[in-house]
Amino acid sequence: MNLHVDLKYRQWSLAFFTTFIFLICGSIVIIANGIYSIKNENQSILNTAVAEIDSILYSSQNTIYDTMPLVGLSCDDLKQKLIGIIVKKPSFESINISKSSEIICSTYDRLIHTTNIDASYPNNELILVKSKVINSGGAIGVIKESFNNYEVSVGIDVSAFFSSLYLINPDIDFKVEALGKWTDRSGDIYSSYYENNLSSKSSKYNYKVSTYISLNNYLSGIMLGYGWHFILLIFIAVFVWYFSYKKSAEKVMALLMKNSLEKKHFKPYAQPIMNSKGELKGLEILIRWEHKKYGIIPPDMFIPLAEKTGLIIPMTRQLITDTIQNLEYSYCHFPKDFHIGVNICTQHCKLINQISLLASCQEFMDSQISKQAYLTLELTERGLIDDIDEAKILFERLQHMGIKLAVDDFGTGNASLSILSNLDFDFIKIDKSFIDLIDVNTENSPIVDNVIDLAKRLNSGLIAEGVEKQVQIDYLKIKGVDYIQGYYYGKPIQLKLFIDEYLGKYKRE
């Protein structure tokens, strides 16, 4: 499998996985939030129901206290007064006076001589009873107070418990339970078990209001109330997918690079640099990623990300060490004034990264190679140097150590003349794009001439990059360019091979 296909595959998988996790987490949050809100909403409806019922019971209790002093009156007189009260209270069915549990006077004629009110029932509490005469055997709420063998009670229409709440939420089916009996909107009375998972207890009386919210209720509630959250989630997931797809390519690649760096799969390749007479005067180290699975990966495919992630710092360090070791172990001699070019980037100029580069340079200076060759660091003009002062400190230190500096890709990038004159470069490498302008038909190439002129005025040695044709060599020679690098003389090859092929004849015995 090649790197591109594998990266795409990994990119898709990672983006898919990230989006999937995002959708799962998002859905869990929406559902949890939905359940919490539905529960809260229903809880507050139950609390409202309790407040409503409490107020009915409280008003019944007051009616009982108002009635108690009147118990001595004849039933006819009493009834007259009580009817006056009851007409103002739509939730009251009846006001009754009973003695030994038998109603002896009631606003509702048919109740007289019934035994609905049991003296043993607790006072001032809601009692749910099956009505003998009202509501054709359905539930009726009763609240009573006993005194001197009498009981004054108020019969309450249980539908009053439900009516106002029905207006708030007709879907919630709640039950009112008191003393082991319960009733609901149907108005019937039961004492069997009923399922409930949400309730609100009155703090003043002995009843509770409860309901059961099934999973289906939750799901349909969530779909109805939070459906648009899911639409939004899917919308965001598209963005998550897009960004993670974009980011995951980098992540996967960075991981591969890190892994390969540990396994030392980044190798130095070398390309010869000749003088105008065609004699070998140097080499440029060009990194190659020798991946076991994907083969040789060219630097353009990974250097930009290595710079972005900072991996370029340990990568360059490893490359320089590898180069020194290869050259040292080969026991080769170098032609006079030989230059070993190594590419660095603007990251290396930052104070935090300078230590690593300086250590590499020290390693070179401590090696046998430094006695016969120069190390030339090539800084590309394409990157921006953030802090010119930081770079200046580095350049001074490097030059003090005996390291040469070259500006790479000259003419293509961001190096302003002020940077070029501020930082003292030993060499200028004219970019291949200018060399390409020189052709058989070119008598003179004003742009190339200008670049060469400018470079010359900066008082640096000149290297032409990407030279492929004899005509270019001839032209550059006339213009006084000192060094030539390009496929004309040789392509980059493994450093070990380069040593055999180019430095073999200089080898020490």
| Residue 501 is a binding residue for ligand C2E (CB under 6 A) | no
Under rule CB under 6 A, which residues in 340-359 are in contact with ligand C2E? 343-345
Question: From ligand C2E, Ca ion, none, which one binds at residue 252 (CB under 5 to 8 Å depending on kind)?
Answer: none
Count of C-beta atoms within a 10 Å radius of residue 173: 15
**Complex with Ca ion: residue 93 or 409, whichever CB lies closer:** 409
Contact 10, 252 (CB under 8 A): yes
**Complex with ligand C2E: residue 45 or 311, whichever CB lies closer:** 311
Tokens 């998988």 correspond to: 13
Residue type, 107: T
What's the closest the beta carbon of residue 312 comes to Ca ion, in angstroms? Answer: 14
Count of C-beta atoms within a 10 Å radius of residue 492: 20
What's the closest the beta carbon of residue 18 comes to ligand C2E, in angstroms? Answer: 31
Using CB under 6 A, pick the residue from 55, 115, 487, 505 that binds ligand C2E: 487
339 three-state secondary structure: strand
Token output for 305? 């990300």
Contact 307, 250 (CB under 8 A): no
Nearest to 448 by CA among 460, 461, 465: 465
| Residue 472 is a binding residue for ligand C2E (CB under 6 A) | no
**Complex with Ca ion: residue 145 or 322, whichever CB lies closer:** 322
Using CB under 6 A, pick the residue from 299, 310, 314, 335 that binds ligand C2E: 299
Span from 80-88, 257-265, 298-306, 413-421 in contact with ligand C2E (CB under 6 A): 298-306
What's the closest the beta carbon of residue 226 comes to ligand C2E, in angstroms? Answer: 52
| Residue 106 is a binding residue for Ca ion (CB under 5 A) | no
Question: From ligand C2E, Ca ion, none, which one binds at residue 36 (CB under 5 to 8 Å depending on kind)?
Answer: none
**Complex with Ca ion: residue 343 or 445, whichever CB lies closer:** 343
Using CB under 5 A, pick the residue from 353, 408, 435, 467 that binds Ca ion: 408
DSSP bridge partners of 154: 95, 143
| Residue 61 is a binding residue for ligand C2E (CB under 6 A) | no
Question: From Ca ion, ligand C2E, none, which one binds at residue 492 (CB under 5 to 8 Å depending on kind)?
Answer: ligand C2E
181 three-state secondary structure: strand
| Residue 381 is a binding residue for Ca ion (CB under 5 A) | no
| Residue 343 is a binding residue for Ca ion (CB under 5 A) | yes
Q: Which residues of 359-393 are buried (b: 16+ CB within 10 A; e: fewer)?
A: ebbebbeebebbeebbbbbbbbbebebeeeebbbe
**Complex with Ca ion: residue 208 or 429, whichever CB lies closer:** 429
Using CB under 5 A, pick the residue from 86, 409, 473, 484 that binds Ca ion: 409
Span from 109-117, 137-145, 150-158, 336-344 in contact with Ca ion (CB under 5 A): 336-344
What's the closest the beta carbon of residue 400 comes to ligand C2E, in angstroms? Answer: 23
Draw the binding track, 121-160, toward ligand C2E (x: CB under 6 A; -: no contact): ----------------------------------------
Using CB under 6 A, pick the residue from 105, 319, 324, 495 that binds ligand C2E: 319
Distance between CA atoms of residues 438 and 454, nearest Å = 17
Angle at 249 between CA 246 and CA 254, to 5 degrees: 130
Count of C-beta atoms within a 10 Å radius of residue 14: 17
How many helices (DSSP H) and strands (DSSP E) are in the chain?
Answer: 13, 20
**Complex with Ca ion: residue 221 or 268, whichever CB lies closer:** 268
Span from 123-131, 173-181, 223-231, 460-468 in contact with ligand C2E (CB under 6 A): 460-468
DSSP bridge partners of 280: 274
The radius of gyration of the chain from alpha carbons, rounded to an integer in Å, stands at 47
Question: From Ca ion, ligand C2E, none, which one binds at residue 165 (CB under 5 to 8 Å depending on kind)?
Answer: none
Distance between CA atoms of residues 223 and 208, nearest Å = 30
Distance between CA atoms of residues 297 and 302, nearest Å = 8
- What count of Cα atoms within 13 Å lies in the side-chain half-sphere of residue 457? 9
Question: From Ca ion, ligand C2E, none, which one binds at residue 312 (CB under 5 to 8 Å depending on kind)?
Answer: ligand C2E
Distance between CA atoms of residues 76 and 106, nearest Å = 10
Distance between CA atoms of residues 109 and 91, nearest Å = 18
β-sheet with 102-106: strand ranges across: 102-106, 92-99, 150-156, 139-147, 127-130
Distance between CA atoms of residues 408 and 430, nearest Å = 7
What's the closest the beta carbon of residue 340 comes to Ca ion, in angstroms? Answer: 12
Under rule CB under 6 A, which residues in 28-47 are in contact with ligand C2E? none
Give the dihedral sign, CA 493/499/501/506.
positive
Q: Count the site residues for ligand C2E by CB under 6 A.
A: 26
| Residue 411 is a binding residue for ligand C2E (CB under 6 A) | no
| Residue 151 is a binding residue for Ca ion (CB under 5 A) | no
Tokens 């103002």 correspond to: 88
Give the dihedral sign, CA 214/220/225/231.
positive
Q: Count the site residues for Ca ion by CB under 5 A.
A: 5
Using CB under 5 A, pick the residue from 93, 125, 177, 378 that binds Ca ion: 378
Span from 190-198, 387-395, 413-421, 482-490 in contact with ligand C2E (CB under 6 A): 482-490
Binding site for ligand C2E (CB under 6 A): 271, 286-287, 298-300, 303, 312, 316, 319, 343-345, 378, 380, 408-409, 432, 465-468, 485-487, 492
Binding site for Ca ion (CB under 5 A): 343, 378, 408-409, 465
